[in-house]
């Protein structure tokens, strides 16, 4: 993917911002002007023009970019260029060179675990002169980790395999990983995690990773780890079940972000909690209108077994909050309502702290990793009222479904604890450069940017 030094055959790639294309072209030799005009190249973002030398061999690549420092601008090149060695022929800032390298790496991402025939060998890039190699590698590794975990079918990525992935991550960073499994969840008072996952042959579990110095600020990540969601006894139709291997996308995000934090040695006391379950159908499955007493002591009536994500998260959030952390961030593929409101590319952000929300939004804008804040609208809390328990896990009618889901989770976090909840798709429906169809990390880079600004 990368090489340290240019070869004699290394081909320069000249990035050209579309906005300055005309002024750039006037400075080029007549031969270049003639070729560009005859070929129709206009430096639109992602557009490529291959230039041949006098020997007929490829000698230069012209490449249209929106921004020299854009994260995704260079992601289309690895699959668009012929095999060979390339270098970016431009003076770049440290941030721009690092983003270009990470974008190039992600442009070469492929999920080929189950392919008997591998795709062609990709071209290599000479490390841009000012790139932060450790940062670019860590960013690409983290996003690739999230994608790999989500893309792996549930047969090979159940609760036990997700726990194994967390243990491997812990070993690579000398982090401590503990896993509470099966009936031990009941003994240690995680009843909703147990209830949701008990119908699966792969026992439910709570993954608990800790890293960093105890004296540093406590940052806790919580990720929904529903490794497959049938809907439970409120069974999903076939179309609704098709992509449910991705329902552990929140857990994948928590682990991927943890890798980035640990690899770049952020000065935090990190804790990651991932309730890993499979919401299955069996004789011991939890039922509609069952009442479960949560870890916090709040009783919840099960209005729908397909709203299981908030159930496994609520016990984990209570545990996260028990340490009075500096902040809690949770990630979940929680509601279809958020997708209806914002589409598949834009994660919904819910937050009980305006400063934290503003910092996240600012970070998202800075690194081209957007999110959109939706309100924790308290009047909708009444929609979760239950006649027989303290709260219902769903509202009647489904209106404001993403908001009521977030309000449910808010019941399990103290008002004084800064908390942000991300309701995301974690999946690219259609591919884009560097972002192929399939599992995707959303808001991960934005969250890290915010954390680095606070604790770097």
pLDDT digits (tens, 9 = 90+) for 353-381: 999 999 999 999 999 999 999 999 999 99
Question: Which member of 3, 110, 236, 267 is catalytic?
Answer: 236
- Do 65 and 154 lie in a common domain? no
In angstroms, the Cα distances linking 106 to 196, 369, 378, 432, 441 are: 35, 15, 40, 11, 11
- Do 84 and 98 lie in a common domain? yes
- Do 96 and 192 lie in a common domain? no
- Do 276 and 359 lie in a common domain? yes
CATH, residue 126:
3.40.220.10
- Do 300 and 346 lie in a common domain? yes
Give the count of alpha carbons within 13 A of 347, CB side only.
Answer: 34
- Do 431 and 309 lie in a common domain? yes
**Structural domain harbouring 104:** 2-131
Q: Measured in whole angstroms, how far is the alpha carbon of residue 126 from the centre of its chain?
A: 27
221's enclosing H/E stretch is strand 218-223
Last residue of a domain, one of 101, 131, 161: 131
pLDDT tens-digit profile, the chain (456 residues): 899 999 999 999 999 998 999 999 999 999 999 999 999 999 999 999 999 998 999 999 999 998 877 899 999 999 999 999 999 999 999 999 999 999 999 999 999 999 998 888 999 999 999 999 999 999 999 999 999 999 999 999 999 999 999 999 999 999 999 999 999 999 999 999 999 999 999 999 999 999 999 999 999 999 999 999 999 999 999 999 999 999 999 999 999 999 999 999 999 999 999 999 999 999 999 999 999 999 999 999 999 999 999 999 999 999 999 999 999 999 999 999 999 999 999 999 999 999 999 999 999 999 999 999 999 999 999 999 999 999 999 998 889 999 999 999 999 999 999 999 999 999 999 999 999 999 999 999 999 999 999 998
- Do 254 and 169 lie in a common domain? yes
Domain count for the chain:
2
pLDDT of residue 397: 85
pLDDT of residue 192: 98
- Do 233 and 111 lie in a common domain? no
- Do 66 and 165 lie in a common domain? no
Q: Diameter of the chain by CA atoms?
A: 83
- Do 126 and 206 lie in a common domain? no
CATH, residue 140:
3.40.630.10
Last residue of a domain, one of 116, 131, 146: 131
Q: What is the reported pTM?
A: 0.97
The token pair at 89 is 């022929």
In angstroms, the Cα distances linking 405 to 27, 155, 343, 381, 412 are: 58, 28, 17, 10, 12
pLDDT of residue 157: 98
pLDDT of residue 279: 98
Give the DSSP per-residue string, 341-409.
HH-SSS-EEEES-HHHHHHHHHHHHHTT---EE----GGGGGGG--SSSSEESS-SS-TTHHHHHHHHH
Q: What's the CA gap between 444 and 364, in Å, rounded?
A: 9
- Do 182 and 146 lie in a common domain? yes
Cβ-count burial of 110 within 10 angstroms (0-12 exposed, 13-18 middle, 19+ buried)?
Answer: middle
Last residue of a domain, one of 83, 116, 131: 131
Question: Which member of 198, 224, 310, 435 is catalytic?
Answer: 310
pLDDT of residue 271: 99
pLDDT of residue 423: 98
pLDDT of residue 14: 96
Q: Is 236 a catalytic residue?
A: yes
pLDDT of residue 54: 87
Q: What's the CA gap between 168 and 20, in Å, rounded?
A: 48
Q: Is 310 a catalytic residue?
A: yes
pLDDT of residue 218: 98
- Do 73 and 154 lie in a common domain? no
């Amino acid at each position: 993917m990368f090489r340290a030094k240019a070869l004699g055959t290394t081909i320069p790639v000249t990035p050209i911002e579309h906005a300055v294309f005309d002024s750039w072209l006037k400075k080029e030799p007549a031969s270049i002007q003639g070729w560009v005009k005859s070929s129709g190249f206009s430096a639109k973002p992602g557009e490529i023009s291959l230039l041949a030398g006098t020997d007929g061999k490829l000698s230069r690549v012209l490449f249209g970019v929106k921004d020299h420092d854009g994260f995704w601008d260079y992601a289309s090149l690895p699959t668009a260029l012929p095999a060979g060695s390339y270098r970016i022929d431009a003076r770049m800032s440290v941030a721009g060179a690092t983003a270009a390298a990470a974008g190039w790496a992600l442009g070469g991402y492929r999920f080929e675990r189950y392919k008997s025939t591998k795709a062609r060998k990709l071209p290599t890039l000479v490390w841009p002169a000012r790139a932060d190699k450790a940062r670019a590698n860590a960013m690409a590794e983290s996003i690739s980790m999230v994608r790999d975990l989500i893309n792996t079918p549930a047969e090979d990525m159940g609760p036990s395999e997700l726990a194994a992935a967390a243990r491997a991550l812990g070993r690579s960073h000398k982090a401590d990983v503990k896993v509470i499994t099966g009936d031990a969840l009941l003994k240690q008072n995680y009843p909703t995690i147990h209830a949701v996952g008990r119908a699966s042959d792969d026992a439910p579990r709570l993954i608990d990773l800790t890293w960093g110095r105890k004296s540093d600020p406590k940052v806790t990540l919580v990720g929904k780890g529903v490794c497959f969601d049938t809907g439970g006894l409120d069974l999903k139709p076939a179309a609704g079940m098709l992509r449910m291997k991705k329902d552990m996308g929140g857990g994948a995000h928590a682990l991927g972000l943890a890798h980035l934090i640990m690899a770049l040695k952020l000065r935090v006391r990190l804790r990651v909690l991932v309730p890993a379950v499979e919401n299955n159908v069996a004789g011991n499955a939890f039922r509609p209108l069952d009442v479960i007493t949560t870890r916090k002591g709040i009783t919840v009536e099960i209005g729908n077994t397909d709203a299981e994500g908030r159930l496994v998260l609520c016990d984990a959030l209570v545990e996260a909050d028990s340490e009075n952390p500096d902040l809690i961030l949770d990630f979940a593929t929680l509601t279809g309502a958020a997708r209806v409101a914002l589409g598949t590319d834009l994660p919904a952000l819910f937050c009980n702290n305006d400063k934290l929300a503003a910092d996240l939004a600012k970070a998202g804008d800075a690194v081209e990793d957007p999110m959109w804040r939706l309100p924790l609208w308290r009047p909708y809390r009444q929609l979760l009222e239950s006649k027989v328990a303290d709260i219902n896990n769903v509202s009647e009618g489904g209106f404001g479904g993403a908001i009521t889901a977030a309000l449910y989770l808010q019941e399990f976090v103290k008002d004084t604890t800064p908390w942000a909840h991300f309701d995301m798709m974690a999946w690219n429906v259609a591919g884009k450069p560097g972002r192929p169809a399939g599992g995707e990390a959303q808001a991960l880079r934005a969250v890290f940017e915010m954390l680095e600004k606070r604790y770097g």
